Structure formats: structure tokens, C-alpha cells
Amino acid sequence: MELDIREIKKIIPHRFPFLMLDKVIDVQPNQKLIAIKNVSIDEQFFIGHFPQEKIMPGVLIVEAMAQAGCIYFYYSKNLHGKNCVYYLAKVEAKFFAPVVPGDQIRIEVSTIKLMPKVGFLKTQAFVSDRLVAEAEIGFSVKEL
């Protein structure tokens, strides 16, 4: 199953300039999710990070992975039609290579442990086939 930006915005509350996903290309509940973030030179954070050598901040790569994790949780826990907020609770991240304008990040999400209102996920970010970051992410979910 694929999701475009309109469908993503129905699931997570993030909006410009903090919506970090462009599309989801595959969702298999309780198994995996694959999402895409296109990195444009026009991203606001490139103004100051860094002017001479533009690099996407690692914290924003983690944020993109966390947003993909929220969508994975939404489908894995069958939260269809529910308005939820996701609170980041834990991050253990590693970074292996810089992400620069023009890159396309492919984010892969899988389960470590899912409970009714808490999730622990394994996330990886790739540019082409090169692993650029990985993180174990934990969060809680609150229905509004």
C-alpha cells in the first residue's frame, strides 16, 4: 500500500516546516514500512546548517524516521479514523554518512516491540543503498 502526502497528513499532525515525509511506498502492518524523504536545497534548515557545506541535521533525519514510525504504528495497531498524537520517549541513534541537498532518503521501519499505546521500533535511513543513519525509537500514543 502506498500513501501520498495528503494521506500522511490525515495520520500524523505534523505540518510545514516540520513534516519530514513525502510519501510512503509500502506498509505491511506489524512487519515493515518504507517511506521517502526528498531532500531539497530549499529546505529552511540549510540556511544555517551549514552555509558553506549544506548537511541535513541528524536530528531531522531522526524526526523523519520517527514520523515514519508513527505511521507504521497507526497501521499496525489499526488506529484508522482515530486522531492521535505521538510523543517521542526514547532515541538511540547512529549516523554513518552526511545527507545533502538532492539526496532521497529511504526510511525503513520494523518492530522491536508494540504495545497498545507504546511502540519501540527499529528504523534505518538509506541514500541509494548506503546506510546513513539508524535508530531505535520509542514513543507513546495519546488519542485526542
Catalytic residues: 49
CB burial of 53-66 (b: ≥16 within 10 Å; e: otherwise) equals ebebebebbbbbbb
User: In sequence order, what DSSP letters do the residues of 3-58 get, joined into one string?
Assistant: B-HHHHHHH----TTS---SEEEEEETTTEEEEEEE--TT-GGGGTS-SSS----H
Q: Which of 95, 86, 99, 88 is nearest to 46 (CA)?
A: 99
